[in-house]
Copies of this chain bind each other. A is one copy, B any other.
Amino acid sequence: MTVPDPRLSINQATIKHSDLATALRVTADAGVQAIGLWREPVQEVGLANAAKLLTDSGLRFTTHCRAGFFTMPEGPARRASIDDNRVAIEEAATLAAAGAEGSTAILVLVAGGLPEGSRDLLGARERVRDAIGELAPDAAAAGVTLAIEPLHPMYASDRCVVSTLGQALDIAADFDPAVVGATVDTFHIWWDPDVLAQIARAGREGRIATYQVCDWKTPLPADVLLSRHYPGDGVIDLATLTAAVEATGYGRDIEVEIFNEDIWADAAPDVVRRTAETFGQAVSPSLRAPLDSRV
C-alpha cells in the first residue's frame, strides 16, 4: 500500500456517507494524517463528542466546512445567518484545539447566491463584505481564520456570488490576514486567465488559508454540484497550480474535497485509498519537499 503524502488531508465531503466516527477511523487507518470536517456530522454527535473523537483519532484538523450564506438583506434571516456563523467560528476553534499538533482553525465561507427574486449582484457582494466585517472580531477573538471561498462562476446565481480568487482577495483586503483569508480550490479557479497572478498575490498578501484540490472534467453531470473528480482524472493542470501555491511558501496540509455520486457510492476505505493514490500521483510531485524527506 502507498504511504499517503503527509500533507494530504481528506475533506469529509469526499466520504460524505460516513458518520464522523467512521470518517475519522477510515482516514486514520489509511495512514492519512489530517482531515477537514463538515458541520452537519459534527453537530450530529455534538461538538464536545466530536472534539473527543477527533483527539482520539490523532488526526490534524485542517478546515471546518462551512459557513457563510449571508447575501440576504438585513432582517431576521440575515441575523440568523450571522448568529449561525458565530456558532461555526466556535466550532472551528474547538475542533482545531482538539486536533493533533499542526491543526489549523480555519472556517470555510461560501458567500451564498442572489436572494430570491433579486438581480442585484453588486448589492449581494457588498453584503458579503458587510457580513465578514461583522464576523471578523468574533473570528479574531476565537483565533479562527475565515477563508472566503470563490466558487466557480456556474454557481454565481444560486450558491456563491464570489466567483474569482481576485474578488475574494479584494474582500479580504479590508481585514487582518490572520483573520480573513481565501480558500484556494483548483476546481473553482483553474479556468481563470488571471489565476497564477492571483495565487501569487494571495501568497504575497498572506491570504492562502487553505489549498484544496480535485479535478474537472466534462460532460458535467445533471447536478453540476457533483462534478468533482479525483486529482488527475480530469483536465486541471494541478502541477502548475500546486507549484504556484507552493511558490508562495504555503506549506500546510492540502485537502481533497470531492462531491461525486459515483465516488460517494464506493466504500469509504476504498475512496480514501484512491484519494491518497491520486494525490500522490497528481499533486505530491509538485510539492517543494519530496515526500520521503518529509515523512
CB-based nearest B residue for A119: B237
Question: In the complex, A91 Cα to B39 Cα: how many Å?
Answer: 58
**B residues within 8 A CB of A121?**
190-191, 237
State how many angstroms separate the Cβ of A172 from the closest Cβ of chain B: 14
Q: Of B118, B158, B216, B237, which contacts A218 at CB under 8 A?
A: B158
Assess whether A216 is in contact with B120, with CB atoms less than 8 Å apart. no
| Beta-carbon contact of B193 and A125 below 8 Å | yes
B152 touches A164 (CB 8 A): no
Nearest CB of B to A115, in Å: 10
A154 CB contacts on chain B under 8 angstroms: 152-154, 220, 224
A248 sits at the interface (CB 8 A): no
Residue A192 is within 8 A (CB to CB) of chain B in the complex: yes
Question: Bound state CA distance, A153 and B191, in angstroms?
Answer: 6
Interface: A244 (CB within 8 A): no
Which residues of chain A (188-243) have a CB below 8 Å from chain B? 190-193, 216-220, 222-224, 234-237
List B contacts of A118 (CB < 8 A): 235
Chain A, interface SS category = loop
Residues of chain B within 8 A of A125, CB atoms compared: 193
Asked whether any CB of chain B lies closer than 8 Å to the CB of A156, the reply is yes
- A152-B154, A154-B153, A154-B224 known; A193+B164 contact, CB < 8 A: yes
Chain A residues 223-275 with CB under 8 Å of chain B are 223-224, 234-237
- A193/B167 contact (C-beta < 8 A), A153-B152, A153-B154, A154-B154 known: yes
Residues of B within 8 A of A222 (CB): 222
* Chain B contacts for A237, CB-based, 8 A: 119-121
Query: How far apart are the CA atoms of A234 and B164 in the complex, in Å?
Result: 22
Residues of B within 8 A of A216 (CB): 157
Q: A191 to B218, Cβ gap below 8 A?
A: no
> Which chain A residues numbered 106 to 153 have a C-beta less than 8 Å away from chain B?
114, 118-121, 125, 152-153
A99 interfacial by beta-carbon distance below 8 Å: no
For A117, give the chain B residue with the smallest CB separation.
Answer: B235
- Cβ contact within 8 Å between B156 and A191: yes
Please tell me if the beta carbons of A157 and B235 are within 8 angstroms of each other in the complex.
yes
A163 at the interface (CB under 8 A from B): yes
* Chain B residue contacts of A219, Cβ below 8 A: 158, 223
A68 within 8 A of B: no
CB distance from A117 to the nearest CB of B (A): 9
Distance (whole angstroms) from the CB of A269 to the closest CB of chain B: 29
Contacting residue for A163 out of B193, B223, B236, CB 8 A = B193
- Whether A114 and B235, one on each chain, are in contact in the complex, defined by CB atoms closer than 8 angstroms, is yes
Query: Within the complex, which residue of B114, B120, B192, B236 is in contact with A153, where a contact is CB–CB below 8 Å?
Result: B192
Give the chain B neighbours of A234 by CB distance below 8 A: 157
Q: Which of A73-118 contact B (CB under 8 A)?
A: 114, 118
Is the C-beta of A36 less than 8 angstroms from some C-beta in chain B? no
